[in-house]
Amino acid sequence: MQSFAFLRPTSLAETLALMSEHAGHCRVVAGGTDLVPALREGRLQDVSVLIDVRRRPELQGIKRTEHGLWLGGGTTFTAIVQSAEVSSAWSLLVEASRQVGGKQIRNLATLAGNVANASPAADSIPALLCLEARVSLLSTRGTREVQLENYLEEKTTGQNPLNELLLGFLLPYPRAKTQARFVKVARRQALAIARLSLAIAGHAEDGVIDWVHVAPGAVLPYPQRLTKVEQFLTGCRLSAEICRAAAELAAKEILAQSGKRPSFDYKLPVLKELVKEMLEELRERV
Amino acid sequence: MSVHDSWRVDAREKVTGQARFAADLHIPGQLIGKVWRSGQTHARIVSLDATEAKKIPGVVKIMLAGDMPAHTTWSTYPFLAQGRVLYQGDAVALVAAESEEAALAALAQMEAVYEALPPVLSLDEALEESAPILHNSYPDNRVANSHWPVRKGNIREGFEQSDLVLEREYRTSHVEHAYIEPEAVVVMTDWDGSLIIYGSTQNPFNTRRAVAAATGYPLNKVRVVQQAVGGSFGGKEESVGLLAGRASVLCLATGRPVKMTYSREESVIESSKRHPFRFRYKVGAKRDGRLMALQAELVDEGGAYNFQAQFMNWRACVHAAGVYHIPNVEIDVYAVHTNHVFGGAMRGYSSPQIIFAQESLMDELAAALGLEPLALRRLNFLREGDETITGQILHEPVNAEKVTLRALDLADYERKKEAYRRQDPDTRQVGGIGFATCFRGCGLGAEAPDATGAILSVQEDGSIVVRSSLTDMGQGLQTAHAQLVARELGVSPARIVSKPVDTSLVPEGGMTVASRGTYSGGKPILQAVARIKQILLHVAAQKLECSAGELAMANDCVFRREDPSQKLSFAEVASAAFWSGHSLSVTEWFQPGPLRWERETGQGEAFPSYTYSCVVAEVSVDRLTGKATVTKLVSVHDAGRVVHAGAASGQVYGGMAMGVGMALMEGLNFERGLVTSTNFDRYLIPTAADIPEAVFEFLPSDGNSGAAGAKSLGEATVEAVPAAVANALAAAGYRLRTLPALSESLLKRERG
C-alpha cells in the first residue's frame, strides 16, 4: 500500500483547513471501508493525505428536528439499524442499512461515507432518495443544503468545485400512510455488493397512486429516481397492466441512461419483476 | 462420546492467538522475497530487464531463470519460467530486498517485453484439432499419464439390453481452496550450511523435494519444519513447493534468511484449483430400473502445468459410476492443458465433481423411467459380495443403502418431498428436497503405497510426545492421534504433546492426502503404543509382583484388574521403565499389503475399504431473482469408528460449507485467461449467513482396514453436498447441469 499522512483534526474548522490545504490529494475517512480497499488496490495513487473525521462529535447523532430526522454524517450503519428513532418513521433506511456489508463493516461504515463514495451499487442511496433526503454540506464558505439527487449529480459529474465536508442528512417527515420497501439482490446473504437493488416509497388511496418514488441501485451510473416511471404512475389506478407498463418503462429509462450492458441480460428482467411485485404490494396493502 | 471429545491439542494456542504461523516468524537479518509474475496468458519472453530495479535502495538480489543454481522446474512447475510463459502466475524474476517496500518498488521497475502467443482458454478449446500446442511433448494437449480407462463387460451388449438410454453432459468450475492463511515460508541456513525452511505446508516432504530441486541440495541438507497451518484442503502443495524453492535460492544467493509471504491475490493466481470437469455420460437401464451399461468420458482441465491429474484421474475412474452395480462399463478419464492456473488437489480430489454429475444422472434417469430417486438407487446399490466397476469384490460391510435410508429418515425426506410436490408453483419462493449417495475409497489405495510412520516417546515424568509423519493443517490430525494414544494408554490427553512434521526428525510418510491421516496415519501410532504399552506393563508387573496380563491401564494409572487398589501412577511406571534402561521412544512404520491394478482395463483392487455417505439437501429458490438458498443439509457417514467426535463434527460442518460454496457460488472468473476474481470481494465463498441448518450422524461400522476401525472422513464430508443441492434444485424445478448454480442460470431455466 502507498504511504500517506493520517491526520485527525480536532475541529470542523481544522478539517476544512486541511481539506483545502491538501485539495486534490486528500480523502476524508468517514469509515474507511471503501477507502482502505481502494488504497490497497492502488486505485488512489494521487492520495497522500487521509483526514480522519470518524471521531468528530459534530458528525454524530440521530435526532428529530422541526423539519425531519437529522442524521450526522458519521452515523454508522449499526447505529442506524439499532435506532428506534430511525425505525419509527424512516424504516426504509433501516431495511437498506441492515443489508450493508457484514456486521463488522456496519460497525465502521457510515452513511456519509456510503453516499460520498457514490457507488452505483451503494445500499443506502436508493432508500435515501425515496425518503427525499437532503444533504448538509460544510465548506469554508459556510453550510449549504441540497437535495441528495443534486449532490450526487454534482459529485459524479464533477460540477462542484467546492471542497465540501458532508455534515449530515435531513430526512423530512414522511407523508401520511407512506408505504416503503427496499430489496437487494446479491449473490450471498452478507458481505455482498448489490447486483441490483430497488427502493420504492409511495401511497395509494383507493387503488389510485397519490405519489410514488422509485429508485433502483446498481443499474445507473449513479443512483437516481426513475422520474418518468414516477410521473407515469402518479394518478394511475394500480392494475396488473399498469404495474407491467411501469416495469417496462423502468427498464427503458435505465437503458436510456446506462446503455446496454452485458449484466442487463440478468438485471433488467429481474428489475422489471421487482418493480411489478413491489407495486402490486403497494396495491394490496391499501 | 462427543462430550469428552471437546478438547483439541491446539485449541488454546489457536483461540488465544499464540499459535505461530510462518508469517509470524521474523529472523534477524531476514530479507523479504517477492515474485515477479508474467501477467500474461501465453507469451514468448522477448526480454527481461532488471537494470532499473537493481538501482532501488534496499534491493539486494534479483534472479532470473538463468541465475537458478540447479533446476528451474519442480516436476512440471517452473520456479522461474524460461523462454515462454504459460499462464499469468508464471514467475519470471525473484527479488530479495531489505524491506517489503523496496521489494515492491523493484517489481514496479522491472521491464519485460512479451510476444503474445495464441492461448488455449478452455478444455473444449484444448481438444480442438487446430488448438495451439502448449507442451511440445504432448501435441494433443493431454496431461501426461492422465488417461485412466475402465473396461468391464461388453458395453455394446449392455446398451442393446437396455430399454432406455440417457445421455447427459455436466460441467463444474475452477474452485479456490480459500484457506484463511495465504502461503508463507521463512528460509535460513543452519550452522552446517544446510537449509531450514519454516513453512505453511501440507506436505513438508514434497516441499523438501521442491527445495532440493531448486538448490541442488541433497534431501538430508534440507530440513522443512511445518508451522501451524491455517487451512490447506489440498492446496498448499504446488504453490508452497514453488515458494519454498524460490525463497531457498534467494537465501543461498544472498547468504541471508529470506521470508516470503503471498498476498491473497498472489495466492489465488498461483495456487492450484479444483479441476473443472466436463462429463459426458451415457447410461442404459432396463424398464424396471436395473442399470445395464455406463459409458462416460470425463475430461478435466489441468491448466498450464500439471502433476496431479495423473493421480486424481485414477481415483476418478474408480468412482466414476458411483456406488452402483453396473455390469457393462466403459470409462475414459483424461486431463488437458490450457493457459489457466493449474488444477490440483482439493478436498475430495475429483469426487465432488464426479458425484455431482453421476448423482444428477441417477436422478435424471429415475425421472425418465418414472421411478422415485430412492427406488432406482435401492435397485442398484452395491452390496456386500458385489463387484465394483473396477472388478473388486466388496468383502467389508457395504453401507450405501443404510446411510441413505438413515439420512432420508433424519431429513424427513418422504413427507417433505410430498409437501414440496404439492406446493403452489406460482409462489415467489419454491422449494425442493434431494439427495446424493456416494462412497469414497479410503486412503491412497492402488494409487500409491499407503505407508507411513510415527514416533512415540514417553518421558520419564510420564508426559508424552507424539510425532506423526503426516500433518495437521487444521483438520485436527494431531488431536486424533493424541486421542488414540490417550485411549490406548489410559491417560489424559493433557499429558500429550503432538508435534508438527519436521522432515529431519520423522520418517518420510508420504503426503497427508486422501483422508489417510487417521485411517493410515493412526496405524504406526497404534503400533508404537502397543510396543510402549508392553514395556510399561512389563515394568509395572515387576513392581506390583504380578503378571503383565493381570494389569490394565486407565485413569493415568496401571492397576491390577482383580484389585484396582493395587496400582501405580502412569508417571511412576514411566520413571521406573526409564531408570531401568528401557527405551520409551519408539519409531514405527505401517506398510500395507500390495494392491493389484491393471491399467489398460482399470480392473483390480482399488481400495481396501470404503466410506459411505449420503447427503440430503433442501433448497429454496426465489423465482423472481433466480437466487437459490440451501435451507437444510442432513448427512450420514459410515466412517467406521469415529476416533474424535469433536474433530469429526468439525469436518462435517466444514465440508458442508465448502459444498454449499461449490454448489451455489464458487467459480473463478477469467478474462482472456486472466483471473478477475483474485480476492474475496469478487471470488465469493459462503458466509456464516449462507450456511444452512445442519444435521449429521455417524453410522458406526466395523470390519474395515482402518486404524482403530476409522475410515476416511475429511473429504467424504464435502463430496456429496453439491450433488445433493443440485438434485434438490431439480426437485424444485431447476435441473442445472453446470455448477455453480448462479442466479442467471436458474432464471434462464425459469424463463426457458
**B383 and B292 belong to one structural domain:** yes
Average pLDDT of B19-33?
Answer: 97
What pLDDT score was predicted for residue B749? 82
**Residue B695 located in a structural domain:** yes
CB atoms B687 and A188 under 8 Å: yes
Q: What is the pLDDT of residues B385-415, one digit of tens each?
A: 999 999 999 999 999 999 999 999 999 999 9
First to last CA, chain B: 51
Encoded amino acid at B380, one letter: N
Nearest-CB residue to A266 (from B684, B686, B744)? B744
Q: What is the pLDDT of residues B6-22, one digit of tens each?
A: 789 999 999 999 999 99
Q: What is the pLDDT of residues B216-250, one digit of tens each?
A: 999 999 999 999 999 999 999 999 999 999 999 99
Which residues of chain A are within 8 Å of residue B627 when distances are taken between CB atoms?
185, 187
Measure B637 CA to nearest chain A CA, in Å. 28
Distance of CA B225 to the CA centre of its chain: 21
The count of structural domains within chain B is 4
Instruction: Using a CB–CB cutoff of 8 Å, tell me whether A240 touches chain B.
Output: no
Instruction: Using a CB–CB cutoff of 8 Å, tell me whether A273 touches chain B.
Output: yes
Choosing from B270, B299, B314, the residue where a domain stops is B270
Average pLDDT of B669-696?
Answer: 96
Average pLDDT of B334-362?
Answer: 98
Shortest CA distance from B681: residue in chain A: A192
Q: What is the pLDDT of residues A162-198, one digit of tens each?
A: 689 999 999 999 999 999 999 999 999 999 999 999 9
**B622 and B752 belong to one structural domain:** yes
Shortest CA distance from B105: residue in chain A: A2
Which residues of chain B are within 8 Å of residue A185 when distances are taken between CB atoms?
625, 627, 743
Q: What is the pLDDT of residues B491-545, one digit of tens each?
A: 999 999 999 999 999 999 999 999 999 999 999 999 999 999 999 999 999 999 9
What pLDDT score was predicted for residue A285? 66
Measure B621 CA to nearest chain A CA, in Å. 13
**Residue B604 located in a structural domain:** no
Name the 3-class secondary structure at B576. Answer: helix
Measure A251 CA to nearest chain B CA, in Å. 16
What the block records as the C-alpha cell of A137 is 454540506
Measure B37 CA to nearest chain A CA, in Å. 17
What the block records as the C-alpha cell of A36 is 482502505
Choosing from B245, B270, B295, the residue where a domain stops is B270
CA dist B444 and B303 (Å) reads: 24
DSSP letter at B46 equals E
On the CB side of A44, how many CA atoms lie within 13 Å of its CA? 21
What pLDDT score was predicted for residue A283? 78
Q: What is the pLDDT of residues B304-341, one digit of tens each?
A: 999 999 999 999 999 999 999 999 999 999 999 999 99
Quick one: CA dihedral A206, A212, A215, A220, positive or negative? positive
| Pick from B346, B404, B388, B751: nearest CA to B612 | B404
Please report, to the nearest 10 degrees, the dihedral formed by the alpha carbons of residues B131, B136, B141, B142 taken in order. Answer: 170
**Residue B14 located in a structural domain:** no
What pLDDT score was predicted for residue A281? 87
- Residue of B625, B683, B690, B742 for testing the chain A interface, max A β-carbons within 10 Å: B625
CA dist A183 and A199 (Å) reads: 6
CB neighbour list of residue A147: distance below 8 Å, 6 or more residues apart: A132, A133, A134, A135
What the block records as the C-alpha cell of B497 is 504433546
Nearest-CB residue to A187 (from B428, B624, B684)? B684
CB atoms B689 and A188 under 8 Å: yes
What pLDDT score was predicted for residue B1? 39
Instruction: Using a CB–CB cutoff of 8 Å, tell me whether B742 touches chain A.
Output: yes
pLDDT at B53 over 70: yes
Tell me if A109 sits within 8 A of A117, measured CB to CB. Answer: no
ipTM above 0.90, yes or no: yes
**B145 and B196 belong to one structural domain:** no
**B634 and B701 belong to one structural domain:** yes
**B379 and B471 belong to one structural domain:** no
- Residue of A45, A188, A198, A261 for testing the chain B interface, max B β-carbons within 10 Å: A188
Surface of A (174-233) touching B: CB under 8 A? 185, 187-193, 195-196
- Residue of B426, B621, B624 for testing the chain A interface, max A β-carbons within 10 Å: B624
CA dist B296 and B279 (Å) reads: 7
- DSSP element (H, E) containing B435: strand B429-441
Alpha carbon of B245 to those of B67, B73, B216, B250: distances in Å?
Answer: 13, 9, 10, 9
CB atoms A190 and B687 under 8 Å: yes
Q: Is B131 left (phi over 0), alpha (psi -120 to 50) or beta?
A: beta
Measure B397 CA to nearest chain A CA, in Å. 41
Please report, to the nearest 10 degrees, the dihedral formed by the alpha carbons of residues B595, B599, B603, B605 taken in order. Answer: 10
What pLDDT score was predicted for residue B3? 41
Tell me if A158 sits within 8 A of A143, measured CB to CB. Answer: no
Q: What is the pLDDT of residues B438-473, one digit of tens each?
A: 999 999 999 999 999 999 999 999 999 999 999 999
Shortest CA distance from A103: residue in chain B: B689
**B634 and B704 belong to one structural domain:** yes
**B429 and B462 belong to one structural domain:** no
Q: Which residues pair with B261 in a beta bridge?
A: B184
What pLDDT score was predicted for residue B751? 62
Average pLDDT of A44-73?
Answer: 96
Measure A277 CA to nearest chain B CA, in Å. 9
Q: Which residues pair with A279 in a beta bridge?
A: none
**Residue B599 located in a structural domain:** no
What pLDDT score was predicted for residue B6? 76
DSSP letter at B517 equals T
Choosing from B222, B237, B270, the residue where a domain stops is B270
Distance of CA B204 to the CA centre of its chain: 15
Nearest-CB residue to A266 (from B428, B684, B747)? B747
CB atoms B743 and A102 under 8 Å: no
- Residue of A40, A270, A273, A275 for testing the chain B interface, max B β-carbons within 10 Å: A270
**B527 and B630 belong to one structural domain:** no
**Residue B7 located in a structural domain:** no
Nearest-CB residue to B686 (from A188, A265, A277)? A188
Q: Beta strand B567-569 with B557-560: parallel, antiparallel or unpaired?
A: antiparallel
Torsions phi, psi for A120 (to 5 deg): -60, -25
**B220 and B352 belong to one structural domain:** no
Average pLDDT of B375-385?
Answer: 98
What the block records as the C-alpha cell of B384 is 456386500
Which residues of chain A are within 8 Å of residue B747 when distances are taken between CB atoms?
266, 269-270
Q: Beta strand B31-37 with B258-261: parallel, antiparallel or unpaired?
A: parallel
Q: What is the pLDDT of residues B542-594, one digit of tens each?
A: 999 999 999 999 999 999 999 999 999 999 999 999 999 999 999 999 999 99
**B264 and B379 belong to one structural domain:** no
SS3 content of chain B, % helix, strand, coil (to 5): 30, 25, 40
Shortest CA distance from B625: residue in chain A: A270
Quickly state the pLDDT bin for A161 (edges 50, 70, 90).
low
Q: What is the CATH number for B679?
A: 3.30.365.10
**Residue B548 located in a structural domain:** yes
Q: Print the domain residue range for B220.
A: 22-117+187-270
Please report, to the nearest 10 degrees, the dihedral formed by the alpha carbons of residues A134, A140, A141, A143 taken in order. Answer: 20
Shortest CA distance from A270: residue in chain B: B625
Which residues of chain A are within 8 Å of residue B688 when distances are taken between CB atoms?
190
pLDDT at B361 over 50: yes
pLDDT at B28 over 70: yes
**Residue B1 located in a structural domain:** no
Surface of A (100-119) touching B: CB under 8 A? 102
Q: Which residues pair with B440 in a beta bridge?
A: B611
Apex B157 CA angle, B152 and B162, nearest 5? 105
Question: How many contacts (CB atoms, under 8 Å) link A and B?
Answer: 46
Which residues of chain B are within 8 Å of residue A34 when distances are taken between CB atoms?
none
Q: How many CB atoms lie within 10 A of CB B276?
A: 25
What the block records as the C-alpha cell of B107 is 517489481
What pLDDT score was predicted for residue B2? 41
**Residue B259 located in a structural domain:** yes
Surface of B (642-701) touching A: CB under 8 A? 665, 681, 684, 686-690
First to last CA, chain A: 54
Q: What is the pLDDT of residues B593-629, one digit of tens each?
A: 999 999 999 999 999 999 999 999 999 999 999 999 9
**B148 and B225 belong to one structural domain:** no
Average pLDDT of A147-173?
Answer: 90
CB atoms A265 and B625 under 8 Å: no
Q: What is the CATH number for B31?
A: 3.90.1170.50
**B347 and B463 belong to one structural domain:** no
What does pLDDT average to over chain A? Answer: 95
Quickly state the pLDDT bin for A284 (edges 50, 70, 90).
confident
